[in-house]
Amino acid sequence: MRMWNVNTKLLCKKHLLGEHVEMHMFIGSINKGKSLQGFIDKGLVEISHIKQRHEDLKNEMISRGMNHNSDLPECELWVEGNVDVEKSISELLKRCPECSKRILNS
């Protein structure tokens, strides 16, 4: 699981939908009392920004004509974690040809 935290317009459909699912997975883990410390330590999630990130992803999905029917459940989020956006962009450039096109053409 990871929060890319890059501009949602730069994500291909696969990464946009994938990150959206992962916001739900983070909240589910928190609500079950599971530790996210490993994700926090590796810079893969900013706990305090999960709700806003979900909103950003949802809005981008809708702007691309996709459906969104999955609001986040209530959850207490604390301030912790830091995602390095430049590192995320670098990783997406290496991993995904579609994201690479979107990033390089932005």
Report pTM. 0.86
Provide the pLDDT for residue 74: 81
pLDDT category, 79, cuts 50, 70, 90? low
Exposed (0-12), middle (13-18) or buried (19+): which is 37, by Cβ within 10 Å?
A: exposed
Report pLDDT digits (tens) over 40-74: 999 999 998 999 999 999 999 999 999 999 988 88
> Does residue 75 surpass a pLDDT of 70?
yes
